[in-house]
């Protein structure tokens, strides 16, 4: 097991505050544009899965369950293309999230962007791009600092 390397909020409080403000701005834009909170959480989870960020996975899986996203949909999210459990809006958002997360491998190609724009307005596509970029930044910070998810008792679902 690894130990946390540093606490970024304590080490660099102003920069951390700026990241929190960015996150708050993204959430406000989600509300303004009407992008569903469930889609936002699925984007965060999928990017965190691809990046291997335990801290963010723990947080956003918990948040998603509180929103009422079924455990089945969360369990099969890595294979979202293979099942019919996700709406067209969710599929387009997940495809964008994967493209943004894996940008160094494949960039965000025109086909992906076209599907996103066929499904979302320009403002919705923009806020989803911000959401994917934001969670990728949080993932990189948490992974680098080795942020640890809180320990839970067996009654809360821990092994």
pLDDT of residue 106: 85
Q: What is the pTM of this model?
A: 0.92
In this prediction, residue 21 carries a pLDDT of 98
- Phi and psi at 138, nearest 5°, equal -60, -40
What pLDDT tens digit does each residue of the chain (159 aa) get? 678 999 999 999 999 999 999 999 999 999 999 999 999 999 999 999 999 999 999 999 999 999 999 999 999 999 999 999 999 999 999 999 999 999 999 899 999 999 999 999 999 999 999 999 999 999 999 999 999 898 865 555 554
Domain over 8-150 is classified CATH 1.20.1290.10: yes
CA dihedral 59, 64, 65, 68 (to 10 degrees): 160
- Report the distance separating Cα 37 and Cα 125, nearest Å: 14
């Amino acid at each position: 097991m690894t130990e946390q390397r540093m606490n970024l909020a304590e080490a660099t409080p102003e920069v951390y505050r700026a990241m929190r403000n960015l996150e708050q701005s993204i959430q406000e834009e989600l509300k303004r544009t009407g992008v569903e909170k469930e889609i936002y959480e699925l984007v965060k989870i999928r990017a965190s899965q691809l990046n291997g960020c335990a801290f963010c996975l723990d947080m956003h899986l918990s948040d998603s369950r509180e929103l009422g996203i079924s455990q089945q949909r969360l369990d099969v999210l890595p294979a979202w293309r293979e099942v019919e459990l996700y709406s067209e809006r969710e599929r387009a958002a997940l495809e964008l999230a994967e493209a943004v997360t894996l940008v160094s491998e494949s960039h965000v190609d025109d086909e992906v962007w076209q599907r996103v724009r066929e499904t979302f307005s320009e403002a919705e596509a923009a806020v989803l791009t911000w959401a994917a970029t934001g969670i990728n930044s949080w993932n990189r910070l948490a992974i680098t600092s080795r942020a640890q998810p809180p320990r839970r008792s067996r009654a809360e679902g821990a092994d």
